[in-house]
Structures are given as structure tokens and as C-alpha cells.
Amino acid sequence: MKVKRIAISEQDPKAYKAMFGMEAYLGTTEITGVLADIVKIRASQINNCAYCIEMHCEEALKHGESQKRLFAIAAWRESPLFTDKERAAFAMTEEITVISDKGLTDATYLEASTYFSELEIAQLIMLIGVINTWNRIAVATQLVHE
């Protein structure tokens, strides 16, 4: 038997509003469009968040991303379809998403700094943090994409 979970948006609407405020801010940064979409997809894959994977794949398609690249995100290291900049963002995404493994390593940080300014790195870290929070909300409350 599946246990019915709470809807945080109903139980704590102020918290949800704060999360959407952060989302609105992130939409004004340098890390937007397809790059933001694929970072969100990769974090959501790691966190097994089907709700967010589906939502962000749909958004990526609307932003012009190809299905071929979306299918390859989980295997980005082996795929020739991603730029070095996107690879740096994926590496940051993976290390920050599983932060307890080894943190954000110096090697990954230095690689990212060749493609992103310090402000963009800060924005990317915030984006990764926010999608991880959304993933945790969706998985913990068993949100279903409709």
C-alpha cells in the first residue's frame, strides 16, 4: 500500500514561495536556457527524481535541445555530443549533488573556471543546490508528473 504524502505547497506555502523566488532569480542569471536545463536533468537523474527529469526534458526541448543529446546526458563522459563547457558543468553537478563523496574537487573547480567566470560559478552552484532541493521535495513527497 502506498502512503499518501503531504503537498508542501499546501502545508507550507511560504517555503514553496521562497523556492519559486529563487527559481525566478536563477532565470535572470548567466546560467539559463539549455545549459540550465541539462544541469537540472543530470542532477535529477542522480537523485532518481522522475518528476523533475520529465519536467526539465520538456523544458529543454522547448529551448531547442535535441532528443539525441537528452538521451545521452546520463552517459555524458562517453558521448561526443557535449561541449567542454557543458562537461565542466556536468562534472560540477555530479560532485555537488553527491557532495559527501569528495566535495567539489579542486580539479573540477579549476576546469570549470576555464569556462565560467567567478559569478557564473556562483550561479551554477546555486542552480545545482536549488535543483537538488526540488529533487528532494519531489522524491520525499512522491510527486508525479502529469
pLDDT at 76: 98
pLDDT at 106: 98
pLDDT at 144: 79
With a CB cutoff of 8 Å and minimum separation 6, the contacts of 5 are 140, 141, 142
Nearest-angstrom CA–CA distance, 62 and 46: 23
Query: Mean pLDDT for each 10-residue chunk of the chain (146 residues)?
Result: 89 95 96 97 98 97 98 98 98 98 98 98 98 96 80
pLDDT at 32: 93
Nearest-angstrom CA–CA distance, 116 and 87: 12
Cell numbers of 60, please? 529543454
User: Considering all CA atoms of the chain, what is the largest pairwise distance in Å, rounded to the nearest integer?
Assistant: 51
pLDDT at 85: 98
CATH of 13-141, picked from 1.20.1290.10, 3.40.50.2000, 3.90.1720.10, 3.40.50.150, is 1.20.1290.10
